[in-house]
């Protein structure tokens, strides 16, 4: 796999009356799935629209697939992108699925009619229906087939699974994994579904209140963030109440737990453990944190800086 960026965002800002996005600096590596995670209104969808030059930033610059966004003819690079917005467009409800597909395919040289048919079959979508008459789930699956049928190099998926039932959700996950198989394709997605990020993402980006809080390799993130229940090795040593665990390396939160123990949330388990051993503490129990628990802890911390 080549190590290059499918997307590079440099100092991008967008100012609204009640919301300020950025400045955002972010690289999205080619060949990987990156999931942006964050509460509603944190600027995820705005970032997608800026990347596609649908709205203009007030500052900063971006490249997508090596092309500078907002300069020159954008058809070349947009042809290599599949973009699934969060909200379906209302205007095409009166069209049959097949009519919409016939319209879309004109714009893409790489449109693969067999792949399109295969996607419809796999998702059990009937494209002879009027789009407005499709169920919410079928409509989402139809839209997903539309953005993938031209075999894009880059998929931008904004909440792809919204409206999907568990069976359809599972086939979407499998489909996206298979899409990534060639190794030079890239997915940038947003998701509220913890399990979806867990199953798909290689990298996780946290975004809160218009800011990027950080980008992490997924497995490393879950390895580092842990809950530890600890106690002094020697019960006669200074009591729990007199120590200051919030100053220990890596510790994000600490509170007394039952049985003379402390419950510690760490963002660097290895660092914290080594410090604990040096201080003659023993680790009684460890638990991993879920993605939303990590996000929650990051946000609570962010509120005070």
Partner 1 sequence: MWLPININENSPEPLYHQIEVQLRALIVSGQLAEGTLLPSIRELAQMLKCSVITVRRVYQDLESEGLLRTRQGTGTFVANVQEEDRDRQRTASVIEAVEAAVDAGMRVQLTREEMMQIIVQILDKRWKENG
User: Which residues contact partner 1 by CB under 8 A?
Assistant: 1, 31-32, 173-174, 177, 180-181, 183, 198-199, 201-203, 217-219, 222-223, 233, 269, 273, 277, 282, 286-288
Helical spans, DSSP H, in the chain: 44-51, 75-78, 97-105, 113-123, 136-148, 166-180, 194-200, 218-224, 269-278, 291-302
Of the pair 132, 183, the CB lying nearest partner 1 is at 183
Q: Quick one: angle between helices 113-123 and 166-180, nearest 10?
A: 150
Least Cα distance to 215 among 21, 7, 18 occurs for 7
Least Cα distance to 107 among 142, 140, 150, 141 occurs for 150
Beta strands in 16-136 (DSSP E): 20-29, 33-37, 59-64, 67-68, 81-84
| Residue 260: other Cβ atoms inside 10 A | 11
Of the pair 159, 196, the CB lying nearest partner 1 is at 196
Give min distance, CB of 23 to partner 1, in A: 27
Give min distance, CB of 239 to partner 1, in A: 21
Of the pair 77, 225, the CB lying nearest partner 1 is at 225
Of the pair 134, 264, the CB lying nearest partner 1 is at 264
Q: Do 156 and 35 form a contact (C-beta atoms < 8 A)?
A: no
Give min distance, CB of 99 to partner 1, in A: 35
Of the pair 32, 77, the CB lying nearest partner 1 is at 32
Give min distance, CB of 271 to partner 1, in A: 13
Of the pair 97, 250, the CB lying nearest partner 1 is at 250
Give min distance, CB of 203 to partner 1, in A: 8
Q: Do 253 and 274 form a contact (C-beta atoms < 8 A)?
A: no
Give min distance, CB of 175 to partner 1, in A: 11
Element (H, E) at 257: strand 251-257
CA 162 – CA 124 distance, rounded (Å): 17
């Amino acid at each position: 796999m080549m190590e290059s960026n499918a997307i590079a965002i440099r100092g991008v800002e967008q100012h609204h009356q009640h919301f300020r996005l950025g400045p955002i600096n972010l690289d999205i590596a080619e060949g990987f799935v990156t999931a942006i995670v964050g509460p509603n209104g944190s600027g995820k969808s705005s970032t997608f629209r800026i990347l596609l030059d649908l709205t203009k930033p007030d500052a900063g610059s971006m490249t997508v697939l090596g092309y500078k966004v907002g300069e020159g003819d954008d058809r070349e690079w947009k042809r290599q992108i599949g973009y699934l917005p969060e909200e379906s467009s209302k205007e095409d409800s009166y069209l049959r699925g097949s009519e919409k597909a016939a319209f879309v395919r004109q714009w893409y040289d790489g449109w693969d009619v067999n792949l399109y048919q295969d996607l419809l079959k796999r998702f059990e979508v009937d494209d002879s229906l009027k789009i407005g008459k499709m169920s919410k789930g079928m409509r989402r699956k139809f839209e997903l087939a539309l953005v993938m049928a031209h075999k894009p190099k880059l998929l931008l998926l904004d909440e792809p699974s919204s409206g999907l039932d568990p069976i359809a959700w599972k086939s979407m996950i499998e489909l996206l994994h298979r899409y990534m198989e060639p190794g030079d394709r890239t997915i940038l997605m947003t998701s509220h579904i913890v399990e979806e990020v867990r199953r798909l993402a290689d990298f996780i980006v946290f975004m809160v209140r218009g800011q990027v809080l950080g980008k992490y390799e997924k497995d490393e993130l879950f390895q580092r963030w842990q809950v530890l229940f600890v106690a002094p090795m020697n019960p006669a040593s200074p009591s729990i109440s007199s120590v200051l665990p919030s100053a220990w390396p890596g510790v994000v939160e600490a509170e007394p737990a039952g049985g003379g123990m402390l419950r510690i949330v760490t963002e660097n388990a290895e660092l914290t453990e080594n410090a604990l051993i040096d201080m003659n503490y023993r680790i009684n129990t460890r638990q991993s944190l879920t993605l939303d628990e990590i996000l929650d802890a990051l946000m609570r911390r962010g509120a005070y800086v």
